[in-house]
Amino acid sequence: MIDHRHIIGFLSMLMGIFPLSGYSAQRESRLETVVVTATGYPQPGATLDLAWSNITGTDLDRTAALHLNEIFHRIPGTWISRGNGQEHLTAIRSPVLTGAGGCGSFFMAQDGIALRAAGFCNVNQLFDSTAELAGRIEVLRGPGTALFGSNAMHGVINILSPDVAADNRGSIRLESGPHQYQRLRLVQNWKLGSGGLRIAAVGSRDDGYKDDSGYDQQKINLKHEYADTELRIDTVFSATNLNQETAGFISGDDAYRDSELKKVNPNPEAFRDASSWRWHSAITRELNDSVELSITPYARVNEMQFLQHFLPWKAIEDNGQKSAGLRTSVKHEGVNSRLSAGLDAALTRAYLKEFQPAPFSPAQPQGQHYDYNVDAGELAAYAQYHHAVSTRWSYDIGARMELSQYDYDNHLSDGSACEDPNINCRFYRPADDRDTFTDWSGNTSLGYQFNDQHRAYIRLASGFRAPQATELYRLQQGQERASLDSERLYSVEFGLRGQLDYLQYDVQTWLMRKRDVIFQNSDRQNISGAKTRHHGLDLDFTALMSPTLSLSGTYSYARHTYKGSINLLGTRVDLVNNDMDTAPRHTASLRIQWQPTKATAAELEWVYMGRYYTDPGNSHQYPGHELLNVRLHHELSRRFQVGIRITNLLDEDYAERADFGFGQERYFVGEPRAALVELQYLWES
């Protein structure tokens, strides 16, 4: 394993060779970043009093990530844990969360609209986005603002479609790598009178590093823009399709280091097929010099079928949803204030089926376990206000009230899925039911501008999530009804950001408490009432070492612990003050970026993952790892560009994620060193 002390020594040497003197043309890039996710209108990131990060279009192009976890290393306090193929789990100021709550704790959106309806998320839902075709990605860490409702607890990920170019510009990019990996991306822009049209598509295939694995994936993003003096209409249509042969965990102590086991797929029959499409049209009109009205109707469809290879009885799940909604807002901008207020509404029809093809045991019988529909509705009102009291002091305050309702319809017989009534059956189908949840969130912050270079703030915020439909209606062990409350999270954060002559920095320390956490107890029943505590520090910085050389990096310390009494499934010990599983206390990344000419760019990246426990009882752990990645990019001419990327440069043995389940250590294996090449051709007509 790489010794991080060597890395720090190497960086110190570089900083001694290249004096840290200011280069203003470069140093302004972060502080002048405009962020739209937090407030709904463009705002300089330097004056935004919450923790935000921005992954630029240049970062996306140069990284050309095969999986989104490669790009999210650039954001402190964030870990998109890679499963097999395009699968993933998410952590933002949290452990890596699994199960229904694993996706319900994060608001994941494209152009501000959630990828899935709030009560019907999926832990892998980022593959429903067209992130490979995005203009940039904005991330809010901690509870979102009043613009976001259910699920915006630990963080918000907003994938933004690029603007249409002002000319007829296009490009084609071809990539190739190990195990028959290939990806083709096409982009074309057209200037059309008072607007324009952008069509972008990407297709990829990978035969997989592990046996009997791999995927084919296709995505398309179409954007039309129209604008005149008072009216702007941005319409986006996107669609995705994934056909994946999934490789499961390998098991055994340190199995990820075993060269004979690393490529073994214990679940060659596993698969995941997922498709989605989304449409929205953002209609914005200036009512006068200070008031703007925005109306955004949208529709989305998601469908997915997969084998539950992570469970011994290997049932097949088939789920889907159709949604339509409307987001409205009125924005007023005064001399020293800004106000956004609006109403959001959505209707969803969702279904879930679970079928076990083969016999396993009397308690896990062959046949149909679940088959139900849920009709859901959401209605919310919100307001977010900013006021500059003076040239130095300003404050923000926001609130949101949201009503969610589920109407559940069981298509099978009520009660146990097992024929023998005396068996403690694993699967229970509740009778038809209706559940309603009313929730609110609020936020307030106070900011102080020391001078043109430095700003500090303190922020209080809360977030919530209504129970997911699967937590309410896919019950087990004879639980006739799940009487669940919405989860709630309360956060306090202190932040400081600014620039020195050579250095840009952004640092926050934060504390969050979560209550009414939904979990499965030792009787396999879904209940509310658990409490958890989360605290830590995030650091993001960029240092200019010369006109051609820069150093950027992130560091996070976090501790996530259980509070109060909790009788968690699979544990027989008191968990109070235990670390939550899959929650490294330390994560970091460093990037040395060298651009000797406008045509050539190189990057050396170090990624550090600290050790973490793999079970709630803290009796098993993964030791962590360190990786080096290299990226080179060169413009051969105005039209031709080439690139090469080498991941895991030193060929380290590591696990993308470690887990302890069914009495044994389990791992998703990290892939060995790999070189990928790309060729891009650009044109303009």
Q: Is residue 269 in a domain?
A: no
The conformation of residue 97, written as its DSSP 8-state character, comes to B
Report the distance separating Cα 672 and Cα 669, nearest Å. 9
CATH of the domain at 352: 2.40.170.20
Q: What is the pLDDT of residues 80-113, one digit of tens each?
A: 999 999 999 999 999 999 887 788 999 999 999 9
pLDDT band at 572 (very low <50, low <70, confident <90, very high): low
Find, among 535, 587, 581, the residue nearest to 556 by Cα.
587
Does 666 have pLDDT greater than 80?
yes
| Residue 648 CB partners (closer than 8 Å, separation 6+) | 627, 628, 629, 654, 670, 671, 672, 673, 674
Report the distance separating Cα 327 and Cα 147, nearest Å. 10
Does 252 have pLDDT greater than 70?
yes
Q: What is the pLDDT of residues 421-471, one digit of tens each?
A: 888 899 999 999 999 999 999 999 999 999 999 999 999 999 999 999 999
User: Positive or negative CA dihedral for 42, 139, 116, 404?
Assistant: negative
pLDDT of residue 141: 97
Does 275 have pLDDT greater than 70?
yes
Q: DSSP readout, 579-609?
A: BPSS--SEEEEEEEEEEEETTEEEEEEEEEE
pLDDT band at 20 (very low <50, low <70, confident <90, very high): very low
- Give the burial class of 309: count Cβ atoms within 10 A of its Cβ; 0-12 exposed, 13-18 middle, 19 or more buried: buried
- CA 53 from chain center: how many Å? 12
Q: What is the mean pLDDT of the chain?
A: 92
- For residue 135 the two structure tokens come to 């203009």
pLDDT of residue 229: 87
Report the distance separating Cα 142 and Cα 636, nearest Å. 43
* Alpha-carbon distance values, 263 to 211, 599, 658 (Å): 6, 39, 16
Domain count, the chain: 1
Find, among 595, 601, 647, the residue nearest to 175 by Cα.
647
The conformation of residue 257, written as its DSSP 8-state character, comes to G
Q: Is residue 412 in a domain?
A: yes
In 77-121, DSSP assigns E strands to 78-82, 88-92, 106-110, 113-114
Q: Is residue 261 in a domain?
A: no
Q: What is the CA radius of gyration of the chain?
A: 25
- For residue 406 the two structure tokens come to 């589920």
Q: What is the pTM of this model?
A: 0.94
Report the distance separating Cα 123 and Cα 101, nearest Å. 9
Residue type at position 191: K
Contact 285, 293 (CB under 8 A): yes
Q: Is residue 270 in a domain?
A: no
Residue type at position 443: N
Q: What is the pLDDT of residues 409-430, one digit of tens each?
A: 999 999 999 988 888 899 999 9
| Residue 200 CB partners (closer than 8 Å, separation 6+) | 130, 133, 162, 185, 186, 187, 188, 220, 221, 222
Contact 551, 11 (CB under 8 A): yes
Beta strands 625-635; 600-609: pairing state: antiparallel
Does 9 have pLDDT greater than 90?
no
The string over 474-500, giving b where at least 16 C-beta atoms fall within 10 Å of a residue's C-beta and e elsewhere, is bbbbbbeebebbbbbbbbebebebbbe
Q: What is the pLDDT of residues 116-160, one digit of tens each?
A: 999 999 999 999 999 999 999 999 999 999 999 999 999 999 999
101 torsion bin: left (phi>0), alpha (psi -120 to 50), beta (else): alpha
pLDDT of residue 32: 75
Contact 674, 644 (CB under 8 A): no
Q: What is the pLDDT of residues 49-63, one digit of tens each?
A: 999 999 999 999 999
- For residue 349 the two structure tokens come to 């029809």
Q: Is residue 262 in a domain?
A: no
Residue 122, domain extent: 4-256+275-310+317-684
Q: Mean pLDDT across the stretch 285-296?
A: 94
Report the distance separating Cα 465 and Cα 485, nearest Å. 9
Helix residue ranges per DSSP H, 81-234: 99-104
- Beta-carbon count within 10 A of 546 CB: 14
User: Cα angle at 35 between 33 and 39, to 5 degrees?
Assistant: 150
Residue type at position 41: Y
pLDDT of residue 100: 77
Report the distance separating Cα 78 and Cα 167, nearest Å. 37
- For residue 106 the two structure tokens come to 């994060």
Residue written as token pair 């009882």: 617
Does 522 have pLDDT greater than 90?
no
Under DSSP, is residue 329 helix (H, G, I), strand (E, B) or coil? strand
Q: Mean pLDDT across the stretch 476-486?
A: 91
Q: Is residue 385 in a domain?
A: yes
* Alpha-carbon distance values, 603 to 41, 133, 401, 521 (Å): 33, 22, 45, 47
Under DSSP, is residue 275 helix (H, G, I), strand (E, B) or coil? strand
Contact 518, 101 (CB under 8 A): yes
Q: What is the pLDDT of residues 184-223, one digit of tens each?
A: 999 999 999 889 999 999 999 999 999 999 999 999 999 9
Does 23 have pLDDT greater than 70?
no
Report the distance separating Cα 336 and Cα 443, nearest Å. 20
For the ranges 285-299, 460-474, 512-526, 617-631, the lowest mean pLDDT is seen at 512-526
Q: Is residue 376 in a domain?
A: yes
Q: Mean pLDDT across the stretch 267-277?
A: 96
Q: Is residue 268 in a domain?
A: no
The conformation of residue 131, written as its DSSP 8-state character, comes to G
| Residue 311 CB partners (closer than 8 Å, separation 6+) | none
